[in-house]
Amino acid sequence: MSAFTADYAKASVRISPNHGERVDGQKPDMLILHYTGMPTAEGALDWLCRAESQVSSHYFVHENGDVVQLVPEARRAWHAGKSVWHGNTDINSASIGIEIANAGHPGGLPRYPQMQVDAVIELCRDCGERWSIAPERVLAHSDVAPRRKLDPGENFPWDLLHERGVGHWVSPAPITGGRFFQRGDQGQPVEALQSMLSLYGYGTEISGEFSDKMAGEVEAFQRHFRPERVDGIADFSTIDTLHRLLAALPRYGA
């Protein structure tokens, strides 16, 4: 493919061959945020641009805030893999993928430098405005692929993004004692929690049984919305935070 003009004015272009048509000519209405999970940014960028990797993203954000565009927004980049949100299993056709250079869990979860966070916010705002992307559709890779993916990780400052107009967020409820649900539990309260996770968008099955898969979804939820403790146990703080997020959604709220 020949060179293209960056969709985001501040991005430089480095072409990745790893993309295709968006199915049914879809327009992106989600942003999916990733970390690279590799030791160096250059190594990660090189991998995303190599045909043999079969992976890519639309954007790549360096630690110093420099933004590179690899795939035109109109095309389907290959970043989400097997994933689901609100029943849609072709997240690549519905989204713009943003890779953030960070060594991630394998590298001991290094902090995201402020310059890099600022650049991610500005990029998300630009894409969000150009494509009218709803705040609650700015998501982590781990939200759409729980258990399989952990990125961008519990260190990613979703609260700061929200302060500056990106993404959906409520202050997490403090962690206290009280009743909780975990792997192996069954019954109506578990079913109610499954309904809430599913209503928010997670691929949770409503079975009334707290399975390993469900624990992974609770972990993914915590990693994004209650990062202080990510343990897959649905404590009061987790459930209350989810409840208030649902109430704050435009279509379910007052």
Which residue of 22, 34, 76, 226 would you call a contact of Zn ion, by CB under 5 A?
34
Residue 92 or residue 194: which is nearer to Zn ion going by CB?
A: 92
**CB of 76 or CB of 141, closer to Zn ion:** 141
Judged by beta carbon, residue 181 or residue 202, the one nearer Zn ion is 202
Q: Is 58 in the site for Zn ion (CB under 5 A)?
A: no
Using an 8 Å Cβ cutoff, are 99 and 57 in contact? Answer: yes
Question: Binding of Zn ion at residue 151 (CB under 5 A)?
Answer: yes
Please identify every residue annotated as catalytic: 99
Residues 125-144 that bind Zn ion (CB under 5 A): 141
Residue 5 and residue 3: Cα distance in Å, rounded?
7
CB of 232 to Zn ion, least distance (A): 20
Query: For the residues of 12-64, what is the DSSP string, one character each?
Result: EE-----EEPPGGGPPP-EEEEEE--SS-HHHHHHHHT-GGG----SEEE-TT
Please name the residue that has the structure tokens 């578990």.
190
* Beta carbon of residue 113, minimum distance to Zn ion (angstroms, whole number): 19
Query: From the CB of 34, what's the least distance to Zn ion, in Å?
Result: 3
Q: Are strands 67-69 and 12-13 parallel, antiparallel or unpaired?
A: parallel
**What is the rounded radius of gyration, in angstroms, for the C-alpha atoms of the chain?**
18
User: Which residues inside 80-109 make contact with Zn ion, applying CB under 5 A?
Assistant: none
The binding site for Zn ion (CB under 5 A) comprises 34, 141, 151
